[in-house]
Amino acid sequence: MSTPGIFVTGTDTGVGKTVVSGLLISAIRDWKGQVGYFKPVQTGSDSDTQTIAQLTGLNPPSLAVPVYEFPEPIAPHRAASLHGAHIEIEKIQSAWESLPKNFWIVEGAGGICTPLSNTTQILDIPKALELPIVIVAASRLGTINHTLLTYQQARAKGLRVLGIIVTGEEDPELVSYLKKGLDLPAISKSEIPTWLKGVLQ
């Protein structure tokens, strides 16, 4: 039996993936109990795993250790090359398979096409882990274009997209457009608990 979970990706860096991950964790824990957080690839000195600990109160073993951590706040493949490392999907998959079999929120790095190596991208992680994804998009100029492109790439890879979560200032018109244009649930952060129950039932 595969480990259940949701992969959180974004249209870009800085769109609120970690905050949304924390909200998903809180909603799932309130409803189903056991839930964990896994950030396979971490770049930059600000640890998203520690941020999740502060936001949710999770502790090990519900907080998985990243497989790859680099202090430079740059794309993973560039950070890895500075340290003579090579990010391998197989190593991430092996770490995933060793985690407890409760529900996991897995967070990507940057956008869905952010390179991990010369031949792999972030979207190869949910593909390997057999996880559906949610796309986090910020309510700012350019979001419609970035969201449509992200969705198209995800579907081209054969990934199941559960929905779009829009962060930032409330923008009902944007949410409505994405919902109709993609024929997918598009919600604001405040709607996460209600939406999740429909997704996970």
Domain positions in the chain: 5-137+155-167+179-200
| Residue 18 near residue 52, CB atoms below 8 Å | yes
| Residue 165 near residue 20, CB atoms below 8 Å | yes
Q: In degrees, to the nearest 5, what angle opens at C-alpha 96 toward C-alphas 94 and 111?
A: 110
What φ, ψ does residue 43 adopt, rounded to 5°?
A: -120, 150
The helix/strand/coil state of 201 is coil
Say whether pTM exceeds 0.85: yes
pLDDT, position 50: 97
Does 197 participate in catalysis according to the annotation? no
Q: Which residue out of 17, 32, 39, 157 is catalytically annotated?
A: 39
- Percent of the chain at pLDDT > 90 equals 85
- How high is the mean pLDDT of the chain? 94
Token pair in block for residue 30: 């309130």
Q: From the CB of residue 90, how many other CB atoms can be counted at a distance below 10 Å?
A: 8
pLDDT, position 127: 97
The whole-number average pLDDT for the span 130-157 is 95
What does the pLDDT look like over 89-114, one tens digit per residue? 999 999 999 999 889 999 999 999 99
Fold classified for 5-137+155-167+179-200: Rossmann fold (3.40.50)
DSSP-derived pairing of the beta strands 133-138 and 35-38: unpaired
Cα of first residue to Cα of last residue in the chain, in angstroms, is 18
Token pair in block for residue 146: 């970035």
Query: Is the pLDDT score of 183 beyond 80?
Result: yes
Token pair in block for residue 68: 């790859």
